[in-house]
Amino acid sequence: MARRLPTRAGSPRGAAPVTRPALPLFELAPRELAARDPSPTLALDFGMSLETYNKLVTRRELETEDTVAGDDALAGTLAAAPTTLRASASDAPLARGEVIGRYVVLDLVGAGGMGVVYAGYDPELDRKVALKLLRAPPPSAAASPSASGSRRRLVREAQALAKLAHPNVVAIHDVGEHDGSVWLAMEFVAGVTLAAWLRARPRSWPEVLEVLIPAGRGLAAAHEAQLLHRDFKPENIMVGDDGRVRVMDLGLARVTGDEPRAPPPAQDVALDGVAEALLPTLLTHGGALIGTPAYMAPEQLQGREVDVRADVFAFCVTLWEALHGVRPFAGETLAALTARVLAGEVSPPPSGRAAPAWLRRVCLRGLALEPGRRWSSMAAALAALDRGRRRARATRWIASIAALALAGAGLALHERAQAQAL
C-alpha cells in the first residue's frame, strides 16, 4: 500500500556526515533512484532533514530490518516512523529484441521513479518509439483488487492522453499491459530536459520565455482536454534537438471531472521519486498526493482537490527557477518547505539574475497562496507573458530607434559644425 509522509514532532537529528556525494532532495537523478536495491523498505519521517533523506536514497545497499548499520540517529528515525515505502520488485531490464505489444525493445534509455524507458521499434509504421514500462505494485499486492483497479485506471488515463495531439506535448501512440505492468508507446524525442538545458549555460529571460511559453501551451492543451498534469517541473519538459519544446510524463495526470475523493490528512506529503515508484497504487487512493513537493501548490500539499490552477502554480515555480536559478520556496526539510509554501513566503531572487519587474509580477500572481488569486488558467498566464514580452520588444525597438535618431542628429550637427568652420 502506498504511504505518505506524516508530520511527526521530535524527529531524531544529528545524522553522521554523508560519506559520499548526496544529491539534493528535489534534484534526485532518476538513474540514482533506479540504482537502489529493487525492493528496499524505507520508513520515512516528514521532519527528516534533507541530508538524512539523501543518505537514505543514495545508498545502494538497503536492508529491510537494519536499513543503515552504524548510524543510530538514522536507524532511530526509521524505527520510529509508522509508515514505509517499498519500491517495485519488477525492475529487471528487458532484453533487446523482446516484444511488448507490437513493439520491439531496442535499448534502455533511462529509469526513474515512475518506471523504465526503452527505445523501441514499431515494425508496422517503421518508426522509432519510446516505450515506458510503468512500475508495478509489489508482488504481494499485485493480485489485489486495488492493484488491478489501478492498472485499469492507468490504461484509461493513458487512452485519454493518447487523444491529446499538440506539438508541445509528447505524443502517446499506444497503451497496454505487460506482465502486470502498464506500458506506453510514445513519441521518441531526441533532446534534453529543461533542467539540463538550464545547466548548460546561463540563460537570459527572453531565452527562458522562448522555452517556457511553448511548454505552457502544451500544458494549456492538456487542460483543454480535461487533463491535469500534477507534476509539471523542469525534468518533465523536453527541449528537442529539432527546437521544439514538449511536455512529457503526463502519466501523473488525472482526468478532470473524476469521481470525488476524500482527501488524506492535511499534513501528508509524498516524496519526489520514491512516491512516484508507487504510482499504480497511489492512483487508486482518493486524493493521494502525487507529484514533486517543491513544485506542488498549497492545496495539493494539503491533499485538497486541485484544478488547473495547481498546474499554473507549478508552471510559475518552474518559470521562477528558470529565471533566477533558485526555486521560490526554500526549506532544509520537507516540513520547512511545506511551511514556506503554505505561508506564501517567496524567497527574494539572488542578485545577478535580473528579470523585468513585469515578469516577476506574473510569476508572483501564479504563486499566490489562494487559487482564486492566481491566474485562472494557463491561457490567462500565457496571455500575460505574451503581452509583457511584446511590450518589452516594443520598448527595445523604440529605444533603438531613439538611439539611432540621436546618433543621426549628432552626426548632422557635427557635419554642420565642420561646414561652418570651412
Which of 281, 298, 275, 336 minimizes the C-alpha distance to 137?
Answer: 281
Rounded Cα distance between 239 and 28, Å, is 20
Instruction: Determine the 3-state secondary structure of 254 from DSSP.
Output: strand
Rounded Cα distance between 134 and 91, Å, is 10
Name the active-site residue from 45, 231, 249, 272: 231
Label residue 24 exposed, middle or buried (CB < 10 Å: 0-12, 13-18, 19+): exposed
Rounded Cα distance between 159 and 345, Å, is 39
Grid look-up 519526489 returns: 272
Cβ atoms 70, 149 nearer than 8 A: no
Grid look-up 528487458 returns: 94
Give the H or E element holding residue 392.
Answer: helix 378-421
Q: Is 107 considered catalytic here?
A: no
Rounded Cα distance between 265 and 288, Å, is 10
Rounded Cα distance between 205 and 98, Å, is 45
Asked whether the CA dihedral 145, 149, 150, 155 is positive or negative, the reply is: positive
Inter-CA distances, 101 with 21, 120, 131, 136, Å: 40, 11, 10, 17
Cβ atoms 196, 240 nearer than 8 A: no
Which residues 6+ apart lie within 8 Å of 81 measured at CB? 8, 43, 44, 45
Cβ neighbour number for residue 385 with a 10 Å cutoff: 20
Cβ atoms 237, 248 nearer than 8 A: yes
Enzyme catalytic residues? 231
